Amino acid sequence: MNHLCMGCGICAAICPHEGIRMRFSQTYGCYVPSVSFEECEEGCGVCARACPFAPDNPNTVDVTERLFGEKQDIRHDDVLGYYLQTFAGYSAEHRLKSASGGLLTRMLESLLSRGEIDGAICVGHDPGSPTLFDFRICSNAEDIRSCSGSCYQPVEMSRALRQVLDHDGRFAVVALPCTARGLRLAMEENPELRARIRFILGLVCGQMKSRHLVEYLSRNIAHREFPTEVSFRLKRLNRPANDYAFRLNWKDDYLDIEKNGRARLWGERWFTLEACDYCDDVFCECADAAFMDAWLPEYTADPLGHSLVIVRNEVLLGLLNQVDDPGLIIDRIDPGKVILSQAGVIHQKRRMAAYRPVPVHSKHIPRLRMAQWKWRPDYALEAWMKSRIRCMTEYGVHGNTGSGAHLVGLMSSAWNMVKTFIELAAHVRRIMRPRA
Ligand SMILES: Cc1cc2nc3c(=O)[nH]c(=O)nc-3n(C[C@H](O)[C@H](O)[C@H](O)COP(=O)(O)OP(=O)(O)OC[C@H]3O[C@@H](n4cnc5c(N)ncnc54)[C@H](O)[C@@H]3O)c2cc1C
Ligand code: SF4
Ligand code: SF4
Ligand code: SF4
């Protein structure tokens, strides 16, 4: 299969001969497809045509033009993708347990209660899964609510999608940008899937972590065995919304780890899947609506969180425009502010893409949209350093040897020194530059 596979499971769901199984790789810390050549006598190619990382498949621009390009009143921005309207707000009833403002869970519940869908495919806790999370079909509001929150661990959707293919009904699926594109490609291949998936609700995504992240947190920070449950978005009511914690749970105990205290793991892309380095979709452009954190100063001060939403579908727009609901606190927001809220992710996915080294085992990589900025040595260094750290954490901080961890620590410290120097130089340049 594809060398940039991120283990979404769409190929396994769509194979007409059920010739692909998803298995969990302890080495990579994510799911990988395994093909049974006995079952795959036909070589029909359906699996490859639905893969979001197959280099010759339609890219985000091709898919979204076909989906939204002809819609009335739709607007387009190079980074946001197509959009009808952009909103900021929260659902008072949902946001405490949700990742951001709870608008996604609320939208799923509204779609279900209005009979627009028969079920929602979400990600929830699953102690039996190697990553402690799994996709499932929720057919009532309680199930949907139990899935709120963010899962920064690999999950695969072959089982849930096969259930959709086996049963008549209309569903909404929650998906990351890569998975949303894979779903659109699969829906083009399979008319049943096309008829049954009514809405794709997308999440903005900066990166996905392998299971090695939780192995690292439990072994190196908590000094305990692998936990029985993890929550990645624990809100702390005396802190700003972006100062949240991870909670690792064991049967008899738990430990809260401040995310900001471990910011390096995110900023330096420790344990990030390789596919994420070759992904240019920030705002889940193939989804009917995209949800994200309101990372803007006017919202982060509120510890309970706000969501920003980009809407591309009229039914969903109608739901958000309802003003008769006192629990739904929502306002239109300038699209430019939505872009501003994701400046860091845009930097990684659209700017760094131009500097990333081609993978050593490269065959092809998908066609990426890269911003045409002037070449800068500090960006080139950043891209190189982060891709090295990512590669090392893909295998290095694994098992109990700790040798990989030592090397990653050294790289990380060197990078932080260089970064401080670059920031200082930029500051001095700003001061010295003559004012116009
Ligand atoms: C891997 C990942 C990276 C993200 N990166 C960013 C980012 O860089 N910037 C940003 O602003 N926002 C990011 N988000 C989105 C953000 O964390 C919230 O999920 C989003 O704002 C929706 O919040 P909410 O309160 O409206 O949704 P909630 O009410 O919390 O509902 C969230 C829904 O998403 C589903 N879900 C959770 N994890 C996954 C998953 N891995 N795959 C599919 N469905 C899932 C849940 O089952 C639930 O139905 C990311 C989310 C994920 C999972
Ligand atoms: S080529 Fe066709 S039959 Fe073979 S694994 Fe892929 S989808 Fe299945
Ligand atoms: S469809 Fe998903 S699981 Fe299958 S090869 Fe592509 S990325 Fe991997
Ligand atoms: S960064 Fe891209 S490839 Fe990685 S999980 Fe997010 S959407 Fe998928």
> pLDDT value at position 426?
79
With both helix axes pointing from N to C terminus, report the angle between 377-395 and 403-432 in degrees, rounded to the nearest 10.
Answer: 160
| Atom in ligand 4 nearest the alpha carbon of residue 279 | 2
Amino acid at 230: V
Tell me which residue has its CA closest to atom 5 in ligand 1. Answer: 205
* Ligand 2 centroid to residue 320 C-alpha, Å: 41
Atom in ligand 2 nearest the alpha carbon of residue 14: 7
Least distant ligand from the CA of 121: 1
Q: Which atom of ligand 3 is nearest to the CA of 275?
A: 7
Q: Which ligand is nearest to the CA of 7?
A: 3
- The residue whose CA has the least distance to atom 8 of ligand 3 is 5
Question: Which residue numbers in the chain have pLDDT < 50?
Answer: 400
**Ligand 4 in reach of 275 Cβ (< 6 A):** yes
Which of 81, 87, 112, 114 is closest to 101 using CA atoms?
A: 87
208 Cβ closer than 6 Å to some ligand 4 atom:
yes
Residue 310: name the closest of 90, 111, 85 by CA: 85
Cα-to-centroid distance, 213 and ligand 1 (Å)? 17
Is the Cα torsion angle 106, 108, 111, 112 positive or negative in sign?
negative
Ligand 1 touching residue 94 (CB < 6 A): yes
CA distance 338 to 296: 9
List the chain domain ranges: 55-367, 368-432
Minimal-distance CA residue to ligand 2 atom 7: 15
What would the DSSP string read from start to end of 2-45? -TT-----HHHHH-TT--EEEEEETTTTEEEEEE-TTT--S---
The ligand with the least distance to the CA atom of 9 is: 3
Which residues have C-beta within 8 Å of that of residue 90, sequence separation ≥ 6? 100, 101, 102, 103, 304, 305, 306, 307, 329, 330
418 token code pair: 């260089």
Angle between helices 177-189 and 60-68 (to 10 degrees): 60
C-alpha span between 140 and 355 (Å, rounded): 46
Residues at CB less than 6 angstroms from ligand 3:
1-2, 5-11, 33, 50-53, 182
Pocket test for ligand 2, best of 1, 5, 35, 190 (most atoms within 8 A of CB): 35
DSSP 354: G
| Atom of ligand 3 minimally distant from the CA of 179 | 2
CA 100 / ligand 1 centre spacing (Å): 8
Q: What is the pLDDT of residue 4?
A: 87
pLDDT of residue 403: 58
The number of residues in the chain equals 436
Torsion over CA: 347, 99, 89, 305 (sign): negative
